[in-house]
Structure 1
Amino acid sequence: MSRLLAAITLLLSIALTIVVTVICSVPIIIAGIIKLLLPVPAVWRSISVFCNLMMYCWCAGLAVLLRLNPRLQWDVEGLEGLNKKNWYLLICNHHSWADIVVLCVLFRKHIPMNKYFLKQQLAWVPFIGLACWALDMPFMRRYSRGYLIRHPERRGKDVETTRRSCEKFRAHPTTIVNFVEGSRFTEEKRRQTRSPFKNLLPPKAAGIAMALNVLGTQFDKLLDVTLCYPENDKTPFYDMLSGKLTRIVVRINLVSVNDELHGDYVNDKNFKRGFQQWLNVLWNDKDVLIEDIKAGRAAEKKRA
């Protein structure tokens, strides 16, 4: 693709994405204002249904935009057996802003509308925070280790926030999405966190442990999703917008939610240690899978 065509595609993609987002987000924001003014359970339930519909329309709009790129190929395994009437906890590696687009587009017809764990700071961003709140997105307040040393009284508050956020999802089928690394992967962050993985940051267990504890057996399955952009690893989101993205690889692993994954992560040290060990094993398998996907691409290039 020529630079001129890529630039034109980029501008057109950004413009269309903005149009789709405005068309879908304005009704959600209006619904959020009504939700603020009328704190009535029946009204809130109706607003949640409406906002989920608008979220679905946004995902469908993004799917149309992705189809405008004739070079893009989807390589997906594991969608079989998913149901929109079930509860799911979806965990995924986080490489790029493109990840959110991929998850929204791919799963919109297979599971309940995604609810993303968001950083608490987003709640105060004008319009965006209100829209996310109207969509019942769970906000998480994470404290650094240094902050907790200075303010030990705040220890455990982030997990309590997660517990309150998850309570609202008991009433209707929901998919809770958590990028458990807490941040997008970069080589610099990998070095800073001393990650033992080649392609991932260390996973943070508290959020999903609390979600599993709060909703208990309501979760039908845990969806362990691995995303990879083997031919556009450096700038997948930019390449998605500019029409350069050629291949999206998604591997979905259904993990049973057994009794060993339910426990008091805050107060039970043995459970906490075991849960972290389980998640680290899962993350190590994911790291090997990503490495295999990249190696497969390299082998194909050698044969060519």
Structure 2
Amino acid sequence: MLDFLPSPVKGVLSFIGYLINTICLTVPLILTALLKFVLPFKGVIVLLDKILIWLATLWITINGMNCDLFNRIDWQVKGLTRLKKKDWYLVISNHQSWVDILVLHKIFNRKIPMLKFFLKKELIWVPFLGLAWWALDFPFMKRYSKKFLDANPHLKGKDLENTRKACEKFKHTPVSVMNFVEGTRFTPEKHERQKSPFYRLLFPRAGGIAFVLGSMGEYLNNIINVAIAYPGGIPTFWDYISGKTKKIIVDVDVFPVKEQMIGDYFNNDRFKQQFCEWLNQTWQEKDKKLEEILLFEPTDRSSA
């Protein structure tokens, strides 16, 4: 434990650790992924996917050790006992910071199948990580604005088609499909612009998870609903790696995928309304839970 070091020193050393770990494990990840193109046989692909997941799990494990080496974080995590490593999950969470991804990796590592995030297409250019995400079959999504689609109607439904192709890849190996339902990180400006009825959350977007459930309903057994709270204020990546984040509270709720959660969201108005009502209710409960979690915790209310 090197928590006694000054914060800037801890941050630099920790960042170097993350960087070396990422570079060293990205190379075998990419080489293994290239074999999938050279040997496109189902049995070989399944085997290579297991190797890729093992490498990614090792990367996450080392990152967790790096965090523990330089930081003394009080982790308060509830609800992990019912999880299984050989099951399919849809994971939904509130989103406040890039740190959320590191938190989710750390608490779920080796407890459920590796998290697969839906990423913006531009993130493929992130050094090393972009190639690693590509190698691990993370789906890269390109979002089109309504104005752009009106001018280019031939692209309507293209994002959904990409989601469908991604879901097909998830069917032969247990996976945890991760979705930040709000679609973006929480900020006071976004909260005000949306006129969100929630105190600590933005509006949830139902289309993405409805489509995933519709495409993979026969495989996805459970939904993991995560509430992440930072009592000391929402941290940046630098805050996290330099030891400024002292406490993280995570509440995990697991419930089964029910028949009424699966349907044609885009063509069945009745199902769409029902699904949105369920998701909004889930988000109201999450907002209330976050308030209860932070009620007696020291926090910077201005950051919420």
Q: Is 2:14–2:66's contact at 8 Å kept on the other side of the alignment?
A: yes
What is the distance in 1 between the residues matched to 2:61 and 2:55?
10
Q: Which runs of 4+ in 1 moved over 4 A?
A: 124-127
Paired residue secondary structure (2:282): helix
Instruction: Tell me, yes or no, if structure 1 residue 169 matches structure 2 residue 201.
Output: no
Which whole-Å deviations, capped at 9, do the CAs of 1:131-183 have from their partners, x for residues lacking one? 21221212223222332343344333222221221012221211111111111
Letter in 2 for 1:51: L
Q: Is 1:217–1:257's contact at 8 Å kept on the other side of the alignment?
A: no
* Greater mean alpha carbon deviation, residues 158-167 or residues 52-61: 158-167
Q: Is 1:123–1:130's contact at 8 Å kept on the other side of the alignment?
A: yes
Letter in 2 for 1:177: M
Instruction: Tell me, yes or no, if structure 1 residue 157 matches structure 2 residue 152.
Output: no
Paired residue secondary structure (1:172): coil
What is the distance in 2 between the residues matched to 1:126 and 1:238?
18
The match for 1:276 is 276
The match for 1:29 is 30
Letter in 2 for 1:288: K
What is the distance in 2 between the residues matched to 1:8 and 1:69?
10
The match for 2:142 is 141
The match for 1:302 is none
Which whole-Å deviations, capped at 9, do the CAs of 1:53-85 have from their partners, x for residues lacking one? 111111111110121245311101100111011
The match for 2:111 is 110
Paired residue secondary structure (2:224): strand
Letter in 1 for 2:97: S
Q: Is 1:28–1:51's contact at 8 Å kept on the other side of the alignment?
A: yes
Letter in 1 for 2:151: R
Give the deviation of 1:20 after TM superposition: 1.1
What is the distance in 2 between the residues matched to 1:124 and 1:298?
38
Q: Is 1:123–1:133's contact at 8 Å kept on the other side of the alignment?
A: yes
Name the TM-score, length of structure 1 as normaliser: 0.90
Paired residue secondary structure (1:95): coil
Q: Is 1:32–1:131's contact at 8 Å kept on the other side of the alignment?
A: no
What is the distance in 2 between the residues matched to 1:240 and 1:125?
20
Report how many residues are paired.
Answer: 297
Which whole-Å deviations, capped at 9, do the CAs of 1:21-74 have from their partners, x for residues lacking one? 112111112222333344333332222111101111111111101212453111
Give the deviation of 1:126 after TM superposition: 6.3
The match for 2:121 is 120
| Gap runs ≥5 in structure 2 | 300-304
What is the distance in 1 between the residues matched to 2:36 and 2:130?
13
Give the deviation of 1:130 after TM superposition: 3.3
Paired residue secondary structure (2:212): helix
**Structure 1 segment 221-232 matched on structure 2, within 5 A:** 221-231=222-232
The match for 1:96 is 97
The match for 1:216 is 217
Which whole-Å deviations, capped at 9, do the CAs of 1:259-292 have from their partners, x for residues lacking one? 1100001111111121112111111111121122
**Structure 1 pair 235–23 and aligned structure 2 pair: CA distance change class (3 A):** same
Q: Is 1:236–1:245's contact at 8 Å kept on the other side of the alignment?
A: no
The match for 1:266 is 266
Q: Is 2:90–2:177's contact at 8 Å kept on the other side of the alignment?
A: yes
Paired residue secondary structure (1:74): strand
Which whole-Å deviations, capped at 9, do the CAs of 1:227-266 have from their partners, x for residues lacking one? 11111x2324222111111111110111221111000011
Taking every aligned residue pair, what percent have the same amino acid on both sides? 41
What is the distance in 2 between the residues matched to 1:195 and 1:37?
49
Letter in 2 for 1:212: L
